[in-house]
Amino acid sequence: MAKAIHSMIRVRDEARSVDFYARAFGLEVAQRLPFDGFTLVYLRNAEADFEVELTINHDRTEPYALGDGYGHIAFVVDDLDAEHARFTQEGLTPNPIKEFFHEGALLAKFFFVTDPDGYKIEVLKKHGRYR
């Protein structure tokens, strides 16, 4: 069986991105691999084996065009309201909390936040299929 292990995003400022993901999601650098021309940084926390891989191209000066194909990555939390308040206190400017219903039943309660490079990140309350 296949197992998802990481999702990669390209970022311009390593320190700014590492700080964001640490403050927002408690992700820490699991490994940093510098190469000629680029650096790979793998972020994770104790909750899961899945990692966020940051790719930093050393010569990149312009923001990346995310295009219309990028969706989002999602994180699940126990207390969505507390996390939303914490994100706000951290100055991470989360969007308002929303509820999503399917056939009259709550499917998801969530908010989105945007990282320093414009990537959308969904933060969901543990509920139903989102565990």
With respect to residue 41, please indicate whether it lies within any of the assigned structural domains: yes
Please pick, among 14, 51, 103, 122, the residue that the annotation labels catalytic.
Answer: 122
Q: What is the SS3 string spanning 53-104? A: EEEEECCCCCCCCCCCCCCCEEEEECCHHHHHHHHHHCCCCCCCCEEEEECC
Of the pLDDT bands very low, low, confident and very high (cuts 50, 70, 90), residue 68 is confident
- Going by the DSSP 8-state scheme, the letter that residue 18 receives in this structure is H
Assess whether 15 and 38 both reside in one domain: yes
Does residue 122 have an active-site annotation? Answer: yes
- Reported as a single tens digit per residue, the pLDDT across 77-94 is 999 999 999 999 999 999
Structural domain span for residue 38: 1-59
Domains: count for the chain: 2
Of the pLDDT bands very low, low, confident and very high (cuts 50, 70, 90), residue 60 is very high
pLDDT for 57: 97
